[in-house]
Chain A
Amino acid sequence: MKQTLGYLALPLLMAAAFTTEVRADGETIAVFTKNQTNPFFQTVRVGADNMAKSLNGKTLQYIPTKPDSIPEQLSQIEDVVVKKPSAIVFTPVDYKAMVPGVEKINEAKIPVVNITDRSAGGKFLSFVGADDYSLGLETARFLLKTLGGKGNIVIIEGVKGSLTNVDRVRGFNDAIKENPGAKLLASQPGNYQRLQALQVMENLMQSNAQIDGVLAANDAMAVGAIEALDGANRKAQVIGINGTKEAIDAIKSGKLLASGDYNGFAQGCLGTMMAIRALRNQPVISEIVLKPTVITKDNFGPFDVPLEQRTCPTFEDAGKLGAK
């Protein structure tokens, strides 16, 4: 309770201390992400932190200890409703199952911005995200362009039935269909796990003498597939998704062709920016769908910078980044 009062009192004290035209600052933004295991959400959190700091606010991170746990995120929402932060930046662990949670936040009248995965319901100030379909489509198009529009392709899928996987794989398949010279040999599950992807790749190499391209639904699986290829002294062009540090290193060393990125850092930045702007009665953009970046050896530079040193886009940039 004491803490709650502290959070409520903080903005007031700050406002009293600085009697400038700044309406209020020192807002506390509760940031909800899906897990501690996927490096993508680490970039989201650092982006949110950076933006909050630059606007004189601060963040409180809420992360389920068990990755993507629906009951855990629900109980974290119950906690946060009691704690009453100034605003919430929210990634649902499950876009449908978390709708009742969002409704609880709405009932508590805490302003909330939706990032990354679009919630199936609830009221939000703004949505900042990217779509997995175009991520899959663009990365696969880049692979096929590199291969000259032909060749034997395998897909290593993520967790079957997960929304991210369904959309990415749909994008992969559509890009393959655009190229009549390309042949899909197999589409097998690696469950986003490095070891499983490595083993699937080893198995697929047994039954396919020639594999030219590998489309992996995340970077860990892409790197696993590369280990399998290296182990068998075979070569194929491999792409991953997420733009992790590991993927950037692999692109630099020429082992990985490309990684698709939907810029978690910018999502964290912009989500927090919209939340704070709304609190300060400044205009917000109600929907920003970021275009995917295909990170290759020609453009990895801005991604090869430690997260803490990256700079958030400005509000003017946000307008150009794909606002609808």
Chain B
Amino acid sequence: MTDITKETMMPPRSFLSQDAIQLFYRLLAALLICAVLAVFSDSFLSLGNILNVLRQASLTFFIASGLTLVVLTAGLDLSVGANVALSACIAGTVIHKTGSPALGILTGLACGGIVGLLNGIMVTALRIPSFIATYGMLWVLNGLTYWYMAGETLHGFPAGFRQIGSGYLFGLPIPVYLLLVFLGIGTLFAQRTIWGQEIYAIGANPVAARLSGIPVARRLLLVYAVSGIMAGLASIIFLSRLNSAEADIGESLTLPAIAAVLIGGTSLFGGVGTVFGTFIGALILTLVLNGMNLLSVSANWQPLVTGIIVILAVWLDMKTRRRAQ
């Protein structure tokens, strides 16, 4: 099967499609939240706070960006947070033992990637539903990390390495540059490459995708590996920003990442959504928590408000999509 026939079966997804309309709604929601916060808090619109929000959103985005591709294929990766925890602990050990941040970074990315590949193999070769395969993987990773760390924490990393997560370049936090780079790569990959288009096609209709000659298994393997590598990247940022690693960070990272993907408009049923939407999703989640901190909203209300935002976002999404169809 040649590329030409693929092109005719799947016209390239234009940015001005239905996805664009959805993105517009999301941006609007984010701006609305910003406007409300700007009215009630003097410090919200300060440059410091805006950079703050972007840097905080970046960690969730890195995890959620790879996850977006998985969800686009109608899969789910529940192991991302546990993967971040294991990768951070292993990368941290390598840096401590060798004194080489470069080696640590490579190890962290490799560890994340290997976990992702294993997830991919379970989903493709063993045909285990992704929800179950990655849920099992979550336990395996937690077990390994708890055993490996034995209740200890790793802390204290070289100053140069700490720059990745905490440093600034021309007044912007370095994670914000990485955020822009991966947002660009992710968007181009999904919208402008054949592989990206094939991922959408697999999510929309796996049978049709296979019949039209798309190597479904290989693309799925790729998608899970990318999700794992992005978890590995997040583990490096985490390590560098917090100057420490501990076994129990996973649980607090997985659900916000999934929420960012969903708030960003990527459908759990596959085939619909964008990486840019996920960025907006991560931004909205961060804005809500940032705003509640600035306004000193009682600790009791914070989980409740976050929960309502997630539900509202997904409901609005389904409503606007139905109308658009």
Q: Chain A interface (Cβ within 8 Å of chain B)?
A: 35-39, 41-42, 65-67, 157, 160, 185-189, 191, 193-196, 198-200, 202-204, 206-207, 220, 223-224, 227, 231, 244-246, 249
Contact of A223 with B244 in the complex, beta carbons under 8 Å: yes
Contact of A206 with B242 in the complex, beta carbons under 8 Å: no
A206's partner among B49, B243, B299, B300 (CB-CB below 8 A) is B49
Chain A proximity mask over B18-59: 1 for CB below 8 Å, otherwise 0: 000000000000000000000001111010110010001001
A195's partner among B59, B142, B292 (CB-CB below 8 A) is B59
Of chain B, the residue at the smallest CB distance from A36 is B146
CB-CB under 8 A from A193, the residues of chain B are: 249, 252
B48's partner among A37, A157, A206 (CB-CB below 8 A) is A206
* Cβ of A297 to closest chain B Cβ, rounded Å: 18
Contact of A157 with B299 in the complex, beta carbons under 8 Å: yes
20 A-B pairs with CB atoms under 8 Å apart are A37-B151, A37-B247, A41-B151, A65-B142, A65-B146, A67-B248, A160-B299, A185-B296, A187-B299, A189-B299, A194-B246, A195-B241, A198-B241, A202-B52, A202-B56, A203-B293, A206-B44, A207-B294, A246-B153, A246-B244
Prevailing SS type, chain B contact patch: helix
Contact of A198 with B252 in the complex, beta carbons under 8 Å: no
**Alpha-carbon distance between A194 and B248 when the two chains are bound, in angstroms:** 10
Q: Does B3 contact A (CB under 8 A)?
A: no
CB-CB under 8 A from B296, the residues of chain A are: 185-188
Contact of A39 with B242 in the complex, beta carbons under 8 Å: no
**Alpha-carbon distance between A155 and B180 when the two chains are bound, in angstroms:** 34
Contact of A246 with B299 in the complex, beta carbons under 8 Å: no
Q: Does B303 contact A (CB under 8 A)?
A: yes
**Alpha-carbon distance between A220 and B149 when the two chains are bound, in angstroms:** 15
Prevailing SS type, chain A contact patch: helix
* Cβ of A205 to closest chain B Cβ, rounded Å: 8
CB-CB under 8 A from B292, the residues of chain A are: 188
Q: Does B210 contact A (CB under 8 A)?
A: no
CB-CB under 8 A from A220, the residues of chain B are: 153, 246
Total number of B residues with any Cβ neighbor in A under 8 Å: 43
CB-CB under 8 A from B248, the residues of chain A are: 35, 37-38, 67
Q: Does B314 contact A (CB under 8 A)?
A: no
**Alpha-carbon distance between A67 and B242 when the two chains are bound, in angstroms:** 22
B217-240 contacts to A, CB under 8 A, are 238
Contact of B303 with A160 in the complex, beta carbons under 8 Å: yes
Contact of B152 with A199 in the complex, beta carbons under 8 Å: no
Of chain B, the residue at the smallest CB distance from A157 is B299
Of chain A, the residue at the smallest CB distance from B291 is A203
CB-CB under 8 A from A195, the residues of chain B are: 59, 238, 241-242, 249, 252-253
**Alpha-carbon distance between A146 and B44 when the two chains are bound, in angstroms:** 32
Of chain B, the residue at the smallest CB distance from A223 is B244
Say whether, besides A39-B153, A198-B242, A206 and B56 are in contact (CB < 8 Å).
Answer: no
B241's partner among A35, A187, A200, A227 (CB-CB below 8 A) is A227
* Cβ of B111 to closest chain A Cβ, rounded Å: 19
CB-CB under 8 A from A67, the residues of chain B are: 248
A246's partner among B42, B150, B155, B289 (CB-CB below 8 A) is B155
Q: Does B166 contact A (CB under 8 A)?
A: yes
Q: Does B143 contact A (CB under 8 A)?
A: yes
Chain A proximity mask over B279-315: 1 for CB below 8 Å, otherwise 0: 0000000000110111010111011000000000000
**Alpha-carbon distance between A194 and B243 when the two chains are bound, in angstroms:** 10
Contact of A194 with B143 in the complex, beta carbons under 8 Å: no
Residue picked from A41, A193, A195, most chain B C-beta under 10 Å = A195
